[in-house]
Every structure is written in structure tokens, then in C-alpha cells.
């Protein structure tokens, strides 16, 4: 996997930098975790501060355009980014645990509503 950074755009009000990069790969499209790892090594930044917004691929080509946000601190990531997008950056096991926890919470809330009614 080879990544070349095309553009960096600073957004000081949101404490982040928008990165546009071109990714050349072999086989299937790399996962968000793999792209995040590669980008963190290139930029020398912690993986926790990087959020992959989009991965644009073209059919038949082993090339993708990646748009990512690199934040200055972890608190800004939690404040600004959508929780569902952040969950996409977790491993499959962690995603499954979060999904099960949400289902249990929804079931508990539904049971609580039935008791009150």
C-alpha cells in the first residue's frame, strides 16, 4: 500500500487539518484501520487523532482517494465527529460489543416504558 498526500487544509476553529491523499493498493480496498495506521506513520501523529471521512474508489482500479481529518486533541474528536463514524474505526469485535450494548439499552428502555404505562 502506497499513500501520497495531495493536500492539507488547516481549520483552526475546529482544531483539525483536512488531509486529501491518494492511495495505491493491491487486492481488496484497505480497511479504515489500515489506512489510519498508514496515515499516522506518514504524519507522525497518534492514530486516535485521525478520522477517515471518506474512501473513494473506482471500479477496476487499485487506487482510492482518501479524505481524513487530523485533530489536535482527543476531546475535539469526541465533540465534533459523529459517534457512528467513530465506531467504524474500531475492530469488528469492538463494533459488535457496542451494537449489543445499544440493543440491551433499547430493550431496557422499552421495558421501563411498559411498566410506566
Residues of the chain with pLDDT under 50: none
How many percent of the chain have pLDDT more than 90?
41
pLDDT recorded at residue 94: 75
Please name the residues in contact with 4: beta carbons below 8 A apart, sequence gap of 6 or more: 21, 22, 24
Q: List the chain domain ranges.
A: 2-81, 90-117
Q: What is the reported pLDDT for 55?
A: 93
pLDDT of residue 4: 92
SS3 23: strand
Q: CA 27, 31, 37, 42 torsion: positive or negative? A: positive
pLDDT score for 117:
63
Q: Are 52 and 29 in contact (CB under 8 A)?
A: no
Contact 19, 67 (CB under 8 A): yes
pLDDT number for residue 58: 86
Fold (CATH) for 2-81 = Alpha-Beta Plaits (3.30.70)
| Contact between 23 and 66 (Cβ < 8 Å) | yes
Cell 482544531 sits at which residue? Answer: 15
- Residue 68 Ramachandran class (φ > 0 left, ψ -120 to 50 alpha, else beta): beta
User: Cβ–Cβ contacts within 10 Å for residue 8, how many?
Assistant: 12
Amino acid at each position: 500500500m502506497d499513500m501520497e498526500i495531495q493536500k492539507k487544509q488547516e481549520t483552526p476553529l475546529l482544531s483539525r487539518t483536512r488531509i486529501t491523499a491518494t492511495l495505491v493498493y493491491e487486492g481488496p480496498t484497505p480497511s479504515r484501520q489500515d489506512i489510519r495506521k498508514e496515515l499516522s506513520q506518514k504524519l507522525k501523529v497518534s492514530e486516535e487523532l485521525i478520522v477517515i471521512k471518506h474512501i473513494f474508489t473506482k471500479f477496476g482500479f487499485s487506487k482510492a482517494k482518501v479524505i481524513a481529518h487530523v485533530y489536535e486533541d482527543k476531546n475535539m474528536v469526541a465533540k465534533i465527529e459523529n459517534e457512528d463514524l467513530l465506531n467504524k474505526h474500531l475492530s469488528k469485535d469492538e463494533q459488535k460489543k457496542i451494537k449489543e450494548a445499544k440493543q440491551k439499552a433499547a430493550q431496557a428502555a422499552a421495558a421501563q416504558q411498559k411498566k410506566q404505562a
